[in-house]
Amino acid sequence: MDLWTPEFGQRRAAAIPLSDSPSSVQSVSPSISAFPSVNVREWSAQPPSLPFAVLDVETTGLSPAKDRIIEIAVVRCAPDGSFLDEWSTLVDPGRDPGPTHIHGITASDLEGAPAFEDIAEELRARLAGSMVAAHNLSFDAGFLAAEFQRAGSTTPDQPAVCTLQLARHVLKGNEGYSLAACAAALGIDHPNAHRALADTRVTASVLAAMIALLHPPSDQGALPFG
């Protein structure tokens, strides 16, 4: 199954030097979050009515209060899961990039990347009017809420669906519910894992495939994959 078109592309936003991020020393509440998550059992009972903004972040570590986002990607899809557009950018964390052996992003990669506050409003615009989706939503939502707080901006609050929780409902009995395990169960390739755009594309494909299982084409028209 392949949801994607040859329109793949990666966009890097306008840049500032790595050492110039004024938000790097600001503290945030460790308990804030974003995107109220829907009850997947109730939500999945009807075909989706909103488009999706599927997102993924790569970070310097695991703590939203202490660590920073270094890469963000958003893939927008129609309610049936068909591709609309995509966007991604590296983000200057104002510190070292953390576990490069996992995400593959080095300090030199981040030179000239924008700070989060410089892309916050573009990110907000790309999420607006959509249902946010992410695999292990609470992780991404916690980091985004922390970054919006550091930037002195309100946190987006549109509804969201966690594809991990949805997979537990749709793919019952699967051998694991990691993004890789869900993709494998659905016959979806997962290249370049742990980069934001690659993971977001796969998450969007997993979401579309699960929508098709929940609501076959006879329910909502043909989906863009076989």
Round to whole Å and give the CA distance between 63 and 65.
5
Amino acid letter, residue 196? A
This prediction's pTM: 0.83
Range of the domain at 66: 18-220
Half-sphere exposure of 136 (CA within 13 A, CB side): 13
Quick one: pLDDT band at residue 193, thresholds 50, 70, 90?
confident
Distance CA 193, CA 199 (A): 6
Q: Kindly tell me if the per-residue pLDDT of 55 is higher than 70.
A: yes
Domain count, the chain: 1
8 A C-beta contact, residue 71 and residue 89: yes
Average pLDDT over residues 109-129: 98
Grade residue 26 by pLDDT with cuts at 50, 70 and 90.
Answer: low
Q: Would you put residue 44 in left (φ > 0), alpha (ψ -120 to 50) or beta?
A: alpha
Residue 203, pLDDT above cutoff 90: yes
- Report yes or no on 54 lying in a domain: yes
Domain for residue 11, yes or no? no
- Is 198 inside any structural domain? yes
In a domain, residue 208? The reply is yes
Q: What does the pLDDT read at residue 17?
A: 35
d(CA 159, CA 199): 21
Token pair belonging to 19? 């050492």
In a domain, 1, yes or no: no
2, part of any domain: no
Contact of 84 with 103, CB cutoff 8 Å: no
Instruction: Answer with the residue of higher pLDDT: 34 or 120.
Output: 120
Count of residues for the chain? 226
Q: What pLDDT does residue 194 have?
A: 83
Q: How far is CA 1 from the centre of its chain?
A: 20
Q: Is the dihedral of CA 57, 61, 65, 66 positive or negative?
A: negative
6 belongs to a structural domain: no
**How is residue 99 written in tokens?**
């576990």
187 DSSP 8-state letter: T
pLDDT over 90 for what percent of the chain? 76
